[in-house]
Amino acid sequence: MRTTTAELTAEILKLPSEEIVQVVEALLDRINPVSAEIDEAWAAEAERRIDAFEKGKISTVDGESAMRSLKERI
C-alpha cells in the first residue's frame, strides 16, 4: 500500500525539530541540487559586499526600511 502525502507529512511532523530540518534539507537538495559554482559566486559576492562596507563604500539599511522601500516599488 502506498503512503499518501498527507500520511507522510503527518509522520514527519511527529519527528523532533532537528530531524524535520534534515528531511527538509534532503527534499530541497532533491528539487534544487547544490551547485558549487553558485555557492562560490555567492561567497565571492558576500566578501565583496563586506569589503565595501568595511571601506565605507556602502551603508546598511535596517530590515524594516528595506521592506518598506520594496513595498513602495510594487
**Mean pLDDT, 10 residues at a time, over the chain (74 residues)?**
92 97 95 90 97 96 95 93
The whole-number pLDDT of residue 33 equals 85
Lookup: cell for 40 = 562560490
Q: Does 51 share its domain with 27?
A: no
> What's the CA gap between 32 and 53, in Å, rounded?
31
Q: Does 46 share its domain with 65?
A: yes
Q: Running DSSP on this structure, what letter comes out for residue 60?
A: -
Q: Does 74 share its domain with 48?
A: yes
> What's the CA gap between 41 and 45, in Å, rounded?
6
Lookup: cell for 60 = 546598511
> What's the CA gap between 65 and 49, in Å, rounded?
19
Q: Does 43 share its domain with 74?
A: yes
Question: What's the number of domains the chain is made of?
Answer: 2
